[in-house]
Amino acid sequence: MSTSLFNPQTFHRLRDRAMATLRAGEHLTLSLAGEQSQFIRWTQAKVRQTGTVEDFTLELTYVLENQGVRRSNQLQIQLSGHPATDDMRLNEALQTLRRETPEMPEDPFAVIPQNHGSDQKVFRSELLQPESAAEILAKPLKGLDLAGIYAAGPVVRALATSAGQTLWFSTETFSFDYSLYNSAQKAVKSTFSHSEWDANAYARDLERARKQLELMDRPTVDLPRGEHRAYLAPAAVAELLPTMSWSGFGESYHRQGVSGLKRLREGARLSPLFSLHEDFTSGLVPRFSPSGEIAPEKLTLIDRGQLVNTLVSARSAGEYGVPSNGANATETPRSAAIDSGDLDEKDILQRLGTGVYLSNLHYLNWSDRPTGRITGLTRYACFYVKDGEIVGPLGTLRWDDTVYRMLGTELEALTKHVETSPAVGTYFQRELGATRTPGALLRSMRFTL
């Protein structure tokens, strides 16, 4: 049953059925999101919970235009995979939209869909069979204390508009996001994700993590609060991005005065070493926006410290009279990439000298959004380094510092190597995409507790 929802023809049938009913002044966008996923949750290298989820939803965005006045409404329905049931739900949704929308207040910025071109992308992969996945994953875990989540299966995103556009993106992915623990509750983190299952790569990933865990056996070093030199590994740099993206890059946030990076729009700059792009060249995430616009393959947001572009959705384009660049509704990066620098991986510890080596960060939040200050904690494999040598794992430290210092005045170097951090979030549905980030050497970072 449900596999039919991964067939573009099923979506085309729903599309044709909906669009055939449209009357003058009605505009419609259909957005399909679906997954057929296996989740295996691990603790102590054993299975805590295991299951599958099949979940497909169809969102209808309806705009009614009458003598220049626009009104809008959205409804999302659950798809069952049974044509009769889904057709009935689609019909009921259209009836509800037609009944409610004429009474809604005018929405001058409602987006009328345009035809930005149709496309179909299908990515297939060799994933583990669900029935045997647990045993295969467990094989090399003997003697390890591992906690984590294996998520695998196909994911689809599709869109069709009354302007005649149809877009389809489906992919088959897996990720094993895990951490390893020693007897003192110290841990290291890894995310194993490939386009195809590769047992040798899996073993190598575990071995790398296991070796890093040996360093966590050394006595813990508790540093006093204050300013310390710091190296943020690529994963730690990647962990800055979600908080920065929460209001940071959206045109609407800047216009409304509530962006966490508002000072960049007012003339402040980050380090000339720092450039950030919305970069879709990896192909891991669809480029189309909820209104069917195709985002540029690469859009520079910050160029050598200067904010040169914001993310502009179709709605913001209408409200503020600026060109859209195919941003999503929340105007957050979907495929962020930070340019690399010239710091060799083998030189990191020596260049750091005496300071802290941070593999990961935890629980970040804006602590003072208008001034760009973010707080968070250290987590997993974080070390005190003295004279270029790792001394031991760091006791948990809270930091509280501004973007304008960390990626601005205090940014000393970025690494030559970059790492890809796949999106592993699964709130409501499995996320797509990844960020690509180098490591960052900071002259100083403020630790407050």
372 sits near another protein (criterion: CB under 8 A) = yes
14 sits near another protein (criterion: CB under 8 A) = no
Stretch of residues binding another protein (CB under 8 A), selected from 165-173, 196-204, 230-238, 419-427: 419-427
Q: Evaluate whether 334 touches 285 at the Cβ level (below 8 Å).
A: yes
Say which amino acid occupies 92: E
27 sits near another protein (criterion: CB under 8 A) = no
Least separation in angstroms between CB 153 and another protein: 12
For residue 382, what are the contacts with CB-CB under 8 A and spacing of at least 6? 356, 357, 358, 359, 360, 393, 394, 397
Least separation in angstroms between CB 353 and another protein: 26
Cα 61 to chain centroid, rounded? 24
Least separation in angstroms between CB 147 and another protein: 4
Closest CA to 395 of 432, 441, 334, 447: 447
Stretch of residues binding another protein (CB under 8 A), selected from 13-21, 47-55, 157-165, 199-207: 47-55
330 sits near another protein (criterion: CB under 8 A) = no
Least separation in angstroms between CB 149 and another protein: 4
Pseudo-torsion of CA 379, 385, 389, 393, nearest 10°?
-40
Least separation in angstroms between CB 4 and another protein: 11
Q: Which two tokens stand for residue 175?
A: 């990720």
Closest CA to 173 of 426, 427, 1, 2: 426
Among the listed residues 3, 7, 21, 44, the single contact to another protein using CB under 8 A: 44
Least separation in angstroms between CB 404 and another protein: 9
227 sits near another protein (criterion: CB under 8 A) = no
Stretch of residues binding another protein (CB under 8 A), selected from 105-113, 163-171, 201-209, 211-219: 105-113
364 sits near another protein (criterion: CB under 8 A) = yes
Burial class (CB in 10 A: 0-12, 13-18, 19+), 130: middle
By three-state DSSP, how is residue 17 classified? helix
Q: Evaluate whether 327 touches 312 at the Cβ level (below 8 Å).
A: yes
Q: Is 236 left (phi over 0), alpha (psi -120 to 50) or beta?
A: alpha
d(CA 213, CA 326): 43
Q: x/- binding map, residues 270-299, to another protein, per CB under 8 A?
A: ------------------------------
Stretch of residues binding another protein (CB under 8 A), selected from 232-240, 256-264, 283-291, 435-443: 256-264
298-331 in b/e form (b: 16+ CB < 10 A) is ebbbbeebebebbbbbbbbbbbeeeebbbbbeeb
Q: Which two tokens stand for residue 104?
A: 């809604």
For residue 162, what are the contacts with CB-CB under 8 A and spacing of at least 6? 19, 22, 26, 27, 28, 29, 113
Stretch of residues binding another protein (CB under 8 A), selected from 156-164, 195-203, 371-379, 437-445: 371-379
Judged by CB, which is closer to another protein: 2, or 309?
A: 2
7 sits near another protein (criterion: CB under 8 A) = no
Q: Evaluate whether 331 touches 307 at the Cβ level (below 8 Å).
A: no
Range 138-197, binding another protein (CB under 8 A): 138, 147-149, 151, 177-179, 181, 185, 187, 189
117 sits near another protein (criterion: CB under 8 A) = no
Judged by CB, which is closer to another protein: 8, or 130?
A: 130
318 sits near another protein (criterion: CB under 8 A) = no
Q: Which two tokens stand for residue 96?
A: 């509800």
Judged by CB, which is closer to another protein: 99, or 211?
A: 99
95 sits near another protein (criterion: CB under 8 A) = no
Range 384-403, binding another protein (CB under 8 A): 396, 398, 400, 402
Residue 155 φ/ψ, nearest 5 degrees:
-135, 140
End-to-end CA distance of the chain: 54
221 sits near another protein (criterion: CB under 8 A) = no
91 sits near another protein (criterion: CB under 8 A) = no
Judged by CB, which is closer to another protein: 100, or 119?
A: 100
135 sits near another protein (criterion: CB under 8 A) = yes
Among the listed residues 195, 420, 426, 444, the single contact to another protein using CB under 8 A: 426
Burial class (CB in 10 A: 0-12, 13-18, 19+), 281: exposed
Q: Evaluate whether 362 touches 379 at the Cβ level (below 8 Å).
A: yes
448 sits near another protein (criterion: CB under 8 A) = yes
Range 70-89, binding another protein (CB under 8 A): 72-82, 85
Judged by CB, which is closer to another protein: 19, or 138?
A: 138
257 sits near another protein (criterion: CB under 8 A) = yes
